[in-house]
Amino acid sequence: MTDTPGFSPEPTPTQPDAEPTAPVVTSSPAPEVVVPQAFLPEPPSASTAAPPVPTAEITPAGPDPRAALMALRAEVSKAVVGQDSVVTGLVIALLCRGHVLLEGVPGTAKTLMIRALATALDLQSTRIQFTPDLMPGDVTGSLVYDNRTSEFSFKPGPVFTNLLLADEINRTPPKTQASLLEAMEERQVTVEGSARPLPDPFIVAATQNPVEYEGTYPLPEAQLDRFLLKLTVPLPGRDEEFAVLRRHLDGFDPRDLHGAGLRPVAGAQDLAIARAAVAQVTVAPEVAAYVVDLVRATRSSPSLRLGVSPRGAIGLISAARAWAWLSGRDYVSPDDVKSLARPALRHRVSLRPEAELEGVTADAVLEGILATVPTPR
């Protein structure tokens, strides 16, 4: 595979996160917001009307949105050391209106990374610690009875944000996991028959325990398929870990990102312009056919009991277009597809039991498919 600068499709596998003890929801301070207008099939009554939708503050776009978005890595690196490829994957997801599944051991700055990215983009971020007793209403919000008015009013949940960190999502039962499905796919939540739109942009960055399965509820294929990318958050190298220690010894406070020098380097308008530019990136018929051949090869692989769905093919070509644009090109090359194939497809395939017993991994199967499917010239 041709190396792609700034984005590593194969990070180092990691270990599971630690089990939480109680549901915890924390939020970063929200910037001033602008409420987008959205069509509702049935306008709610005054007593159940949705509150203003929090969205990112629209700031004037810079002369080059691509340069502004690429500058995010340098800005986030003021708080997080050595995770440039993961940050790039998050930017790709933002450009594609997609969601990201993160795997990483505790203490690898997953939460800090999301907060730093939200600060550098001037977006609101919220964290939910998923636990077995977390209820769907704790995520989406619920109707609350007001004794003063003798009416029910809607209290929005933490899902009403721009960047949602769903920590250890597989620690909560399927009923609560399913509460995110509508939010991820439709960008809205429905409570008591009333649809309430979510902010734009909206991205879910979920973490899950990759190895330890005791007390967990594996995500169903339908929900895994909603994630655009699955990224691993590796442990830092020796030099990077030394840099982390030096920063803390020099007084770095992860709870004070502004004190660490983080400032917004891009706004919601930059992101909107960038999305429009990504939509103009050309995909040759040969490259589109190459994506189709890759996903169809997963469906006939003897090591897989479940191959990639058509949604996976759409996600792969969308991510490749975003990476091509970030790389300064107005067309998608086969190398762009190869670079994004594993992050975009590894969570959409399911191994056969006999393949798992032999130690086969999803990445190994995808690597074999990439090696055998003819690459267009």
Instruction: Say how far apart CA 129 and CA 135 lie, in whole Å.
Output: 12
Tell me which residue has tokens 């929005």: 156
pLDDT number for residue 153: 86
Q: Are residues 42 and 174 in the same domain?
A: yes
Specify the CATH number for the domain of residue 286.
1.10.8.80
Choose among 164, 210, 136, 199: nearest CA to 28. Answer: 164
Of 279, 302, 335, at which residue does a domain stop?
279
Q: Is the pLDDT of residue 20 over 60?
A: no
Listed residues 279, 307, 337: the one ending a domain: 279
Q: What is the pLDDT of residues 348-371, one digit of tens each?
A: 999 999 999 999 999 999 999 999
CATH number at residue 188: 3.40.50.300
Find the mean pLDDT for residues 240-247: 93
Closest CA to 167 of 221, 215, 204: 204
Residues 219 and 289 in one domain: no
Q: Taking 60 as the threshold, does the pLDDT of residue 159 lie above it?
A: yes
Residue 26 reports pLDDT greater than 80: no
Residue 193: the pLDDT is: 83
Number of domains in the chain: 2
Do 273 and 332 belong together in one domain? no
**Could you tell me the pLDDT band of residue 36, with boundaries at 50, 70 and 90?**
very low
Nearest CA-CA partner of 195 in 8, 35, 44 = 44
Asked which of 279, 301, 319 is the last residue of a domain, the reply is: 279
319 and 244 inside one domain: no
Determine the structural domain holding residue 16 and report its residue range: 1-279
* Co-location of 173 and 318 in the same domain: no
**Comparing 236 with 19, which gets the higher pLDDT?**
236
Same domain, 258 and 285: no
Per-residue pLDDT tens digits for 102-131: 988 888 888 888 889 989 988 888 999 999
Query: Given a cut of 60, is residue 55 above it in pLDDT?
Result: no
172 vs 49, more confident: 172
Co-location of 81 and 220 in the same domain: yes
Two tokens at 352?
A: 């056969």
Give the residue with greater pLDDT, 316 vs 45: 316
Query: Is the confidence at residue 283, as pLDDT, over 70?
Result: yes
Provide the percentage of residues in the chain whose pLDDT is more than 70.
81
Same-domain status, 241 and 307: no
Question: Looking at the DSSP assignment, which residues form a beta bridge with residue 206?
Answer: 101, 166
CA pair distance 350, 327, nearest whole angstrom = 32
- Same domain for 272 and 300, yes or no, is no
- Would you say the pTM of this structure is higher than 0.85? no
pLDDT over 70 (residue 63): no
Same domain, 197 and 242: yes
